[in-house]
Amino acid sequence: MAELSVQLAEITGDSGTSSFDPASIEADGGCFMLVRNAADEAVACGALRRLTSGVAELKRMYVREPGNGIGRKLLHALEQQARWLGYRQLWLETRRVNLRAIKFYLAQGYRIRENYGRYQGNLQAVCFEKVL
């Protein structure tokens, strides 16, 4: 996750750590997934955190080497886990300058939604949702 924080800071000027509390993932209804390669190195991660009884938030999605399908597979696994946990929607936020992330989420069936929670009124943020 440290790599993600560095990359986010380079892209957006903010590491994203202020909007991520690991304890909120460990709470009921959350999960964290880590993808390792054959050399047992972490190459991708993502988390779900409960927002409401029917909505989970996707957090800390990161792939070390984009373009090889790992991100798509990880997102699919997180969506399956969200369904299993009883969620009907996934929401997420990224920065408008993170064009690669925006393109990725749109290609995976997410749609832009009104900014929610701490992102309301933040013109740098763009929020997405997907009905599961």
pLDDT 10s digits, 57-71: 999 899 988 889 999
Task: Give the whole-angstrom CA distance, residue 25 versus residue 49.
Answer: 5
pLDDT tier at 8, thresholds 50, 70, 90: very low
Does residue 112 or residue 19 have the better pLDDT? 112
69: left (phi over 0), alpha (psi -120 to 50) or beta: left
Task: Give the whole-angstrom CA distance, residue 30 versus residue 22.
Answer: 10
The answer on pLDDT for 5 being more than 90 is no
- CATH numeric code, 2-131: 3.40.630.30
The mean pLDDT value of the chain amounts to: 86
In tens, the pLDDT along 63-110 reads 988 889 999 999 999 999 999 999 999 999 999 999 999 999 999 999
pTM: 0.81
Domain spans of the chain? Answer: 2-131
Spell out the alpha helix ranges (H) of 66-127.
70-84, 99-107
